[in-house]
A and B are shown apart, each in its own frame.
Chain A
């Protein structure tokens, strides 16, 4: 890597001035499909998904990144879509709850485990919990109860299904390990 990060002229395309836009055409992939999001820069990924892309599975809970209800995957990493501008998704793969499914198109093991372990009640935080859990397992943070509880704490559940959620995530993680 460069030894001297601080020399600005060593970076970039040579042009010194940024180019400003009031309207963007953001190229991204949404649940495996290419999309172009034509948006004002201020539009969050959450609002765009719900109001423009017609995907209401991702929910709005607090709109300040304090509850995790709006969790989606961006290039496989879980993030709060209320804290993400559509503009920041240029060239990225966005996965929402609508894009979570099993290999055969049926339920993903996490979804199946949530049903079996009764890991939801009102269901409003559930899409965020499931997307978060899929990533939690892929990150290797579902090793044991303590790691699941800590690494799933970014998804608040007011119905308070936490023990069931923990059991579901551990179960799904074990199934994943057992899979061929």
Chain B
């Protein structure tokens, strides 16, 4: 890491001012330090969010939960309100990383983590092309090793996936991020917070650099998660070892039953695209919460998948993960 100037932010105002002065924010630091070691980020200044009060609270206000951006993944994963009203989020938090990382990693920072693509995660000098690291250099994964890469939303410029577990749950639960910037505050729906490469290209980016709708001068301060009576949710994470590893695919599902039929359901898939991938679920309304009924419907909802040469398995795996998450949420798995 190169040397940098450091400031402790005493207030949100100072943090926003710091962003304006080309500072990177450090909250937990579990991503930023590695970006700097690899050369992914090289900020001349770092402003520490850790000292700002009041940003880590978890509370319920009427029809929604508020989760402060500085709440750590362990805090969220063991919070009774989250376990009761946003189960998928709690599960996603506890399935992420390790206990040690979860004690530092914040929910505000976690959704801003970057892809685990090994071509991207190489240290300088890169022996291959990566459009995120060096715009215009190409995408080595596109025709290289791409077993863990995207099946939706990718372009020839980049085939990376967004690995955050909590982001998948937040998308599924229709959460919104409350963000503050130089020009005030706004809400960004989490199902649109991240951009696929195609969506980024449509916004004028070269398809590899732009990853979220967060402006450079903005910071997430909290999430609002709607609480729906009778809704239950669950998160399923598929990986080759039992813990402390990123997903091959994951799925968050939220379901409301009416008698023994699905009245409403939302499903988001993780690690299949550069954003949590929401499935169209209208066809599932009225369906029986059984594997036999759901698998073909979810498969059909994924028919627009565009696998790469090595990751066709993700279509089956993600479909089955979604079924598993839905059945778990419905309590019938």
**A residues touching B (Cβ–Cβ < 8 Å)?**
1-2, 5-9, 11-13, 15-22, 24, 40-42, 44, 63-65, 68, 71, 77-80, 82-85, 87-88, 90, 132, 135-136, 139, 141, 150-156
Contacts and interface: CB of A to CB of B under 8 A. Distances in A.
A153 B98 contact: yes
B186 to A, nearest CB: 9
A82 B53 CA distance: 25
Contacts of B2: 42
A17 B19 CA distance: 11
B90 to A, nearest CB: 14
Contact of A16 (B13, B100, B178): B13
Contact of B11 (A1, A12, A79, A141): A12
Nearest to B46: A41
A18 B9 contact: yes
Interface in B1-49: 1-18, 21, 23, 26, 28-30, 33-34, 36-37, 45-48
Given A5-B178, A8-B16, A41-B6, A18 B47 contact: yes
B7 A8 contact: no
Interface stretch (B54-62, B269-277, B278-286): B54-62
Given A6-B221, A12-B11, A83-B30, A154 B244 contact: yes
B242 A153 contact: yes
A153 B243 contact: yes
Contact of B29 (A71, A84, A141): A84
Given A16-B14, A22-B3, A6 B178 contact: yes
B101 A65 contact: yes
A83 B3 contact: no
Given A17-B14, A21-B7, A24-B6, A6 B180 contact: yes
Given A18-B7, A18-B9, A79 B14 contact: no
